[in-house]
Amino acid sequence: MIFDAFQAGPFTIQFYWIVVIITSFLTYIIMSVLLERKVDMLLFFKQNYLNANVLLLGFYKFGNVLLNFHQVIYDPLVYLYLSGNSKTFIIGILSVTCYLFYKGYKQRKPIKQAVMLLLMTYTIAFAVYKGIEALFATLYRGIL
Determine if the pTM surpasses 0.75: yes
Mean pLDDT of 58-74: 82
pLDDT at 19: 83
Structural domain containing residue 62: 5-143
Residue 24 CA to residue 27 CA, distance in Å, equals 5
Question: Domains in the chain: how many in total?
Answer: 1
Amino acid at 95: S
Beta strands at 11-14 and 5-8: parallel, antiparallel or unpaired: antiparallel
Residue 122 CA to residue 119 CA, distance in Å, equals 5
pLDDT at 3: 56
Do residues 114 and 104 lie in contact, with contact meaning Cβ atoms separated by under 8 Å?
A: yes
> pLDDT tens for residues 20-43?
888 999 999 999 998 889 888 889
Mean pLDDT of 53-70: 85
